[in-house]
Chain A
Amino acid sequence: MSKRAVDAVFQALFILSDLRFLLRETAPQHDFDEAQKKRAATSLEKVKRQIAIIEEELVQ
């Protein structure tokens, strides 16, 4: 059982949900202001970290 991998999958989905809502808030142009760009960049970094954990736990 890899609780760490399961948590990472959920965390990644949750972070992507935040990104999804950023798309909703900025529809239809998705023209991000500086704060929104920063939020997106932070979210993407967090997702990458979770994906790295998933790879480490399940693939490598």
Chain B
Amino acid sequence: MKCAVDIEARDVEEMYINIDPIQAGGRLTADAMKAAISFGDGYSVCDNCRNPPRLDYIQKPPIAQFHADLATWLNMDTARVVPGARRGFQAVASTYVEKGDPVIVTSLAHYTEFMAIEAAGGIPREIPKDAKNHITPDAAAEKIEAVIREFSRTPPLLFVDHVDYQFGNVHDVAGIAKVAHQYDIPVLVNGAYTVGIMPVDGKALGADFVVGSGHKSMAAPAPSGVLATTKEHAGRVFRTTQAKGDVTGRTFGLKEIEMMGCTLMGVTVVGMMASFPRVRERVQHWETEVAHSQAVVDALLSIEGTKVLSDYPRQHSLTRIDTRESFDTVAQRHKKRGFFLSSDLKKRGITGVIPGSTKVWKFNTFGLTDKQIRHVGESFIEVARENGLNIV
């Protein structure tokens, strides 16, 4: 079935249980899908843009209120919607980082944090993870000291991932922020895997900036996200343009430089807004999501040889699993080689495991129903049993 010339309609979410690690939290709500139908046209939210002509002032649809609600929800002072978390990183790095500045990230940081620093001319320096794949406040302190010794100046910014994309581990952001603040280093918390799926309190975390991803964790169309900050930093990161045309004498009012004036002008922002009531509600049920994650991990661990590389018991719905001594032993002798696992899962209506992966791989159970969780767990065990693996 095609939705347009040469474009197949996508029915993955209707036909399968999708456990893709990056897609789970970004699946739209029904309301967001309806909003997408209604606001698909380009500048569709600009029908009622008045003075000042800026996205976060628009009253109808209630985008201005949405901005205020986002900040309150994250317990921060001010928020802007941005085209993805990466553009939030970029706005902050562009504001705070000068050419040649060292910037602290972690050894579990997302690549877009590196890109944002590089674009601003900064030099990334990573806090090492410990043996349990955690970033600790002590390691942060040691790295800050080392960087100060290396560069003879204090880094202007520290990025830390609330939950990292590699293991889905929850890190001691509050402890790390406390250390960074002792050196007057502002802290950007990457909440791409937390904002919208679990409770996030920016002030409690000690965040100077909280960045979230709409399409990863807020049930919103891509590219979308949020950048929230404190009163202390808002004036700087959301500074307005002072530019003036030398020929025309034009000025551009209250347009914010890092936002390039306006950011999300149609289906992205309205999709975020439409999902927001449900998103705000769903983070209250995080314990259920963690229990679901745990149930699937336990099913996998009942397959002899399987190991979980993420924290155990699980504290997040994203998990990294090691099946080198279970499913990968099947792959060595199976006619489909490593593709047998995704193929056998697909026959059972499950997708999202990278085809060919039988060694170390990730999955995300966020948003599945109890029944779907049972089906996923039972399916892994069935596939293992049918392929001669022991269930313990």
**Are A28 and B37 neighbours in the complex by a CB distance under 8 Å?**
no
CB contact between A10 and one of B15, B17, B38, B372 (< 8 Å): that residue: B38
List the A side residues contacting B38 at CB < 8 Å: 10
User: CB distance A17 to B14 under 8 Å?
Assistant: no
Q: Check A13–B16 contact: CB distance below 8 A.
A: no
* CB of B227 within 8 Å of the partner chain: no
Contact assessment for B349 and A27 in the assembled complex, using a CB-CB cutoff below 8 Å: yes
| A13 CB contacts on chain B under 8 angstroms | 34, 37
A18 close to B (CB within 8 Å)? yes
- Within 8 Å by CB of A17, from B15, B37, B349, lies B37
Take A14-B37, A17-B37 as given contacts and tell me if A28 and B17 are in contact as well, using a CB distance cutoff of 8 Å. Answer: yes
* 1-60 of chain B: CB within 8 A of chain A: 13-17, 27, 29-30, 33-34, 37-38
How far is A23 from B33 in the complex, measured between Cα atoms in Å? 14
* Residue A49 interfacial (CB < 8 Å): no
Q: Which of B321-379 contact A (CB under 8 A)?
A: 348-350, 369, 372, 375
Chain B residues whose C-beta falls within 8 Å of the C-beta of A10 in the assembled complex: 37-38
> What's the dominant secondary structure at chain B's contact region?
helix
> Which residue from chain A places its CB closest to the CB of B351 in the assembled complex?
A28
- Contact residues in A for B33 (Cβ distance below 8 Å): 17, 20-21
Q: Do A21 and B16 have beta carbons less than 8 Å apart?
A: no
Cβ-neighbour of A24 out of B14, B37, B349, B350 (below 8 A): B14
The answer for the CA separation of A17 and B275 in the assembled complex, in Å, is: 14
Q: What is the interface size of chain B, counting residues whose CB is below 8 A from a CB of the partner? A: 18
User: Once the chains are docked, how many angstroms separate the CA of A23 from the CA of B375?
Assistant: 16
Pairwise interchain contact A23-B37, C-beta atoms closer than 8 A: no
Number of residue pairs spanning A and B whose beta carbons lie under 8 angstroms apart: 38
Residues of B close to A45: CB separation below 8 A: none
- Chain B CB within 10 Å, residue with most, of A14, A17, A23, A24: A24
B37 in contact with A20 (CB, 8 Å): no
Find out whether the CB atom of A28 lies under 8 angstroms from the CB atom of B348. Answer: yes
CA distance A19 to B202 in the complex (A): 37
User: Closest CB-CB distance, B378 to chain A, in whole Å?
Assistant: 12
Q: Is A28 within 8 A of B13, CB to CB?
A: no
Given contacts A10-B37, A10-B38, A14-B37, contact A28 B30 (CB under 8 A): no
Any B CB within 8 A of the CB of A29: yes
- Decide if B16 touches A27 in the complex (CB within 8 Å): yes
A55 is an interface residue with CB less than 8 A from chain B: no
Cα(A18)–Cα(B33), bound, Å: 9
Chain A's nearest CB lies how many Å from the CB of B348?
7
Question: Nearest Cβ in chain A — how far from B350, in angstroms?
Answer: 7
B30 nearest in chain A by CB position: A21
- What are the residues of chain A within 8 A of B369 when measuring CB–CB? 25
| A14/B34 in contact, CB under 8 A | yes
Query: Of residues 1 to 35 in A, which have CB atoms within 8 Å of B's CB atoms?
Result: 10, 13-14, 17-18, 20-21, 23-25, 27-29
Q: Which of A18, A20, A25, A27 gathers most chain B CB within 10 Å?
A: A27
Given A17-B37, A18-B30; A24-B348 close (CB under 8 Å): no
Residues of B within 8 A of A21 (CB): 29-30, 33
For the complex formed, measure the closest distance between the CB of A36 and the CB atoms of chain B, giving whole angstroms.
Answer: 11
Instruction: Provide a sorted-by-A list of 17 A–B residue pairs whose CB atoms are within 8 angstroms.
Output: A13-B34, A14-B34, A14-B37, A17-B34, A20-B33, A21-B29, A21-B30, A21-B33, A23-B14, A27-B15, A27-B17, A27-B372, A28-B16, A28-B349, A28-B350, A28-B375, A29-B349
Q: List A residues at the B interface (Cβ < 8 Å).
A: 10, 13-14, 17-18, 20-21, 23-25, 27-29
- Counting from the closest, the 6 A-B pairs by CB-CB distance are A28-B349, A21-B30, A23-B14, A14-B34, A17-B33, A24-B13
